[in-house]
Amino acid sequence: MIAFLTGLRGRLVITFTVVAVAASALVAGIGFELAKGALIERTTKTAVDDLTKDLERIDFAVGELRPGEVPPSSEELTNLANALAGPDRHTLLEYQDQYYRDDEGLFGGGDVTGELRGQARSKLVSQRRMIDGALWLVLGTQVYRAGTDDVARPTGLLVFEFVSLSEEERTLANLREAFAQAGGITLLIALTVALVSARHVLLPVGRLSAAAQALGRGRLDTRLPVRGKDELAELTAHFNDAAAALELSVSELRALEAMSRRFVADVSHELRTPLTAMTAVADMLAEEAERLPEQPAKAVRLVLSEVGRLRELVEHLIEVSRFDAGTATLALESVDVADAICDSLEVRGWSDDVRVQAPAGVVANLDPRRFDVIVANLVGNALKHGGQPVLITARSTPNGLEVKVRDHGEGIPPEALPHVFDRFFKVGTGRVRSQGSGLGLSIARANAQLHGGTISVRPQQPGTLFTVWLPHA
Question: Which positions lie near other proteins, rule CB under 8 A?
Answer: 269, 272-284, 311, 318, 322, 327, 329, 331, 333-336, 339-340, 343, 346-347, 365, 368-369, 372
Minimum CB separation from other proteins for residue 327, in Å? 8
For residue 323, the tally of other CB atoms under 10 A from its CB is 16
Shortest distance, position 455 Cβ to other proteins, whole Å: 19
The distance of closest approach from Cβ of residue 425 to other proteins in the complex, given in angstroms and rounded to an integer, is 25
Rounded Cα–Cα distance for residues 341 and 339 (Å): 5
Q: At closest approach, how far in Å is the CB of 203 from other proteins? A: 50
Nearest approach in angstroms of CB 331 to other proteins is 8
Contact 372, 344 (CB under 8 A): yes
Residues in the chain, overall count: 473
- The residue (of 144 and 323) whose beta carbon lies closer to other proteins is 323
Task: Kindly report whether the peptide bond that precedes residue 413 is cis, defined as omega within 30 degrees of 0.
Answer: no
* Cα distances (Å, whole numbers) of residue 74 to 82, 84, 155, 194, 239: 12, 15, 16, 71, 97
Q: Which is nearer to other proteins, 202 or 310 (CB)?
A: 310
Within 10 Å of residue 151's Cβ, how many Cβ atoms?
9
In what side-by-side order are the strands of the sheet with 390-397? 354-357, 390-397, 400-407, 464-471, 454-459
Q: Residue 223 or 322: which CB sits closer to other proteins? A: 322
Nearer to other proteins, 369 or 419 (CB): 369
> Of 250 and 281, which CB lies nearer to other proteins in the complex structure?
281
| Cis peptide bond N-terminal to 414, omega within 30 | no
Distances (CA, A) of 394 to 401, 406, 466: 7, 12, 12
Q: In angstroms, give the least distance from the CB of 422 to other proteins.
A: 24
* Residue 61 or 338 having the CB closest to other proteins: 338
Q: Report phi then psi at 100, rounded to 5.
A: -130, 135
